Chain A
Amino acid sequence: DTGVSQNPRHKITKRGQNVTFRCDPISEHNRLYWYRQTLGQGPEFLTYFQNEAQLEKSRLLSDRFSAERPKGSFSTLEIQRTEQGDSAMYLCASSETGGSEKLFFGSGTQLSVL
């Protein structure tokens, strides 16, 4: 499968623990996006990268959230001191550069904070 890959598929954690998710985009895609989706809502933008540069962060992304894309390839999203409100599906997407490009989504990581 040469699509966007996300790991793990599911993560259950206790409140206060740290979690890290990984996203491997389509190899030739320069842009990588993180979205969060809760039940009954569409995906909400969190942050995006062009190559290794993080170009924008949503105000939804509190100080407990950090994302990296160190070599412009895979990306990680870390949540520190998780809260129950962080429970959601975390989606990664990638696209080529150049205007409004089609997003290719991963299957997501479902986070449950107990």
Chain B
Amino acid sequence: AQRVTQPEKLLSVFKGAPVELKCNYSYSGSPELFWYVQYSRQRLQLLLRHISRESIKGFTADLNKGETSFHLKKPFAQEEDSAMYYCALPRDNYGQNFVFGPGTRLSVLP
């Protein structure tokens, strides 16, 4: 069954430090993975998807099929990056709904 794990519940870094939010998955097939973010008092929203190979707000994520990982990285964290981050992948090969990880709370300290 498809599953997403995010080993860190809380990650604290200082402003300007690099940050890496870990995501590991189990999936039969070629997955498409997503990172969703929820800022304080805002709704859950898409941050980036691996198929787009884009950088959003300085964040990037690389799919490593050998390690079944999709870690989210940013070289220099900003205070406004503080939020809950959820890794997600489709529940099936049709991509019609999603499994979410438990989330990691990122706290960027001044």
Contacts and interface: CB of A to CB of B under 8 A. Distances in A.
Interface of A: 3-4, 31, 33, 35, 40-45, 48, 50, 55-56, 91, 99-108
A102 B46 contact: yes
A45 B98 contact: yes
A107 to B, nearest CB: 5
Interface in B20-51: 32, 34, 36, 43-46, 49, 51
Given A40-B9, A40-B103, A102-B46, 9 more contacts: A42-B4, A42-B101, A43-B44, A100-B90, A102-B49, A103-B36, A103-B46, A105-B44, A105-B45
B41 to A, nearest CB: 9
Given A102-B49, A105-B45, A42 B95 contact: no
Nearest to B49: A102
Given A91-B44, A103-B46, A42 B86 contact: yes
B96 A55 contact: yes
B96 A48 contact: yes
Contacts of B36: 103
Nearest to B86: A42
B73 interface: no
Contact of A33 (B34, B46, B94, B97): B97
Interface string B74-110: 0000000000001010110011111111110000000
Contacts of B94: 99
A45 B96 contact: no
24 contacts: A4-B43, A31-B96, A33-B97, A42-B86, A42-B101, A42-B102, A42-B103, A43-B44, A45-B91, A45-B98, A48-B97, A50-B96, A56-B97, A100-B34, A100-B49, A100-B51, A100-B90, A101-B95, A102-B34, A103-B36, A103-B98, A105-B44, A106-B43, A107-B43
Contacts of A42: 4, 86, 88, 100-103
Nearest to A48: B97
